[in-house]
């Protein structure tokens, strides 16, 4: 397992083979650490595929949610979200 981090992009690779097989977008209205940690813990149960986590932090505008979801759809990424505000979750 290897991990690497940049400001808003976090890679978590399950195996050492390339390229990335799947992407997961982690969306949060704060740091996204809880969702990232939980997702990494779940991913550790599997082997064989490379998974990249991309964390979107401080998402506070419903339009940001729409843009992120559009990007996830275009890149065939799964979305994991921890959003406190009900109005953000409803989007």
- The whole-number pLDDT of residue 83 equals 87
pLDDT beyond 60 at 86: yes
pLDDT, one tens digit per residue, over 36-75 is 899 989 988 887 778 888 889 888 888 888 999 999 999 9
Which pairs with CB-CB distance under 8 Å and at least 24 residues apart come from 68-76?
Answer: 68/25, 68/27, 71/25, 72/23, 72/25, 75/23, 76/23
Beginning with the edge strand found earlier in the chain, give each strand of the sheet holding 10-13 in spatial order: 2-5, 10-13, 51-56, 22-28, 78-82
- Looking at 29-33, 65-69, 84-88, which range is the least confident one? 84-88
Element (H, E) at 34: helix 33-43
- The whole-number pLDDT of residue 18 equals 66
Both structure tokens of 23? 């992407």
Taking the C-alpha atoms of residue 47 and residue 11, their distance in angstroms, rounded to an integer, is 16
């Amino acid at each position: 397992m290897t991990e690497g981090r940049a400001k808003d992009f976090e890679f978590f690779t399950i195996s050492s083979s390339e390229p990335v097989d799947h992407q997961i977008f982690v969306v949060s209205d704060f740091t996204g650490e809880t969702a990232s940690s939980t997702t990494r813990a779940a991913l550790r149960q599997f082997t064989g595929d490379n998974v990249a986590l991309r964390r979107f932090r401080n998402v506070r505008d419903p339009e940001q949610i729409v843009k992120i979801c559009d990007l996830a759809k275009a890149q065939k990424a799964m979305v994991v979200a921890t959003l406190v505000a009900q109005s953000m979750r409803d989007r």
